[in-house]
Each structure stands twice: as structure tokens, then as C-alpha cells.
Amino acid sequence: MNGTPANDPSVEGRSPARARLLAAADELFYAEGIHTVGIDRVIEHAGVAKATLYSLFGSKEGLIAAYLKGRLERRQARTYRALEHIESPRERILAVFDVLASFVNEPGFHGCAFMNACAESKPGSAAIAAAEESRAWTRTLFTDLAREVGAVDPELLAQHLVQLYDGTLVMARMDHDPDAAVVGRAGAAALIDASLQSSTAVGER
């Protein structure tokens, strides 16, 4: 027994066919694009019937949404694991860039799945909605961490950190630079220190 309720929808959704479809979508959509890859390639790669895909996800848009949701959930899990045992607020922010460094140096890195999907998608699509959710989480994460570190303006520091985070992803992808996250981390450290100096100056007035 793992303590998870038998009627938990997260468990009920883990059918072998669903897992194979998501694995196929994750591999193909990320490497080649959500609209470049057609449904027939996904189901062939997954080894399931087309009817199964529509039964589980309703449409290709539903599969795209599930693929991107899985990407976000894995990023969240990696980040929370990294932060779990770090007490220093400053180091917690920098740890986010350490997680990013691991990601951009993985074999098969093709940039940000959400940026890639948005480049192919129209307003109002499942991909745009998923990207907005991902960006909202990133902004909230950095804002919370900026408050922890004692920034005089947490929202502004978070905005700068998000911009660095995005720039790191683009540099790693477009310039094929394995040290992009190292540069991003150094920039984040400088931003944090500048923000803390501003906080000290405000407190001394």
C-alpha cells in the first residue's frame, strides 16, 4: 500500500495506453513540434488505436494540453526537490538556475517546450493556455523567493529573474551554449545582491 486513495483520479488516469501516448507525444512533440507531428505518428509510436487516443484525450488539443501539463509538473517537481533542503533564501533562488543548468545540458535539449509550442499556436489554443499557466508558476516562484530573500521590491526582482531565466533558455538553445545557465546564475546572484543592498540603504534612511 502506498497510501494513495484507490479513487484518486491521478491513479485512475495512469492506464498503460495513456502512459504510452503521453510518452510518444512528449518525445515527438518536443523534438519536432506539436503541429509538425500528426496524430497518426503519435499513435503509431505509442502502439495504440486512434480511437484510444480520442477516448483518453478527446482531441489532439487535449493531448497537447496533457503533454505540456506533464512538462510543467516535472519542472515543478525538479525545482521543489532542489529547494527542499536549502535554507538560505539567496541560495534557494540560485538553486532554480542550478536546476535549469541540468535541464539545458540534458541530451536532446530542444529549448523551452512552452516557447516552442507557442511559436506554432494561435491565441486561445491549448498550448497558449498551458504556457500561461507555466509562466504564472515561474513568476510566482520567483516572487515568493524574492520575498524570502528580503528584496525591497520582490515583484521587480522576480520580473528580472524571469527575464534571466527566459534568456538562459534561449541562449542555451540558439547559441548551443552549455554554460548559458552558469551565466544566468551569475546574473541572478548580481541581481539579488543589488536588491539586498537597496534594502539595506532603505533601512538606513
Cβ partners under 8 Å of residue 20, min gap 6: 46, 47, 48
Percentage above 70 pLDDT, the chain: 89
Q: Determine the Cα–Cα distance for residues 103 and 98; give it in Å rounded to an integer.
A: 9
Q: Which of 53, 72, 73, 70 is nearest to 61 (CA)?
A: 53
152-190 per-position pLDDT tens digit: 999 999 999 999 999 999 999 999 999 999 999 999 999
Domains assigned to the chain: 8-58 (1.10.10.60), 68-204 (1.10.357.10)
Cell of 136: 504564472
Task: Work out whether the CA dihedral 151, 152, 154, 160 comes out positive or negative.
Answer: negative
**pTM of the entire predicted model:** 0.87
CA distance from start to end of the chain = 59
Band of pLDDT at residue 47, cut at 50, 70 and 90: very high
Provide the sign of the torsion angle of the four alpha carbons 125, 45, 20, 100, taken in this order: negative
Work out the average pLDDT over 21-48.
97
Q: Tell me the pLDDT tens digit for each residue of 98-157.
A: 999 999 999 999 999 999 999 999 999 999 999 999 999 999 999 999 999 999 999 999
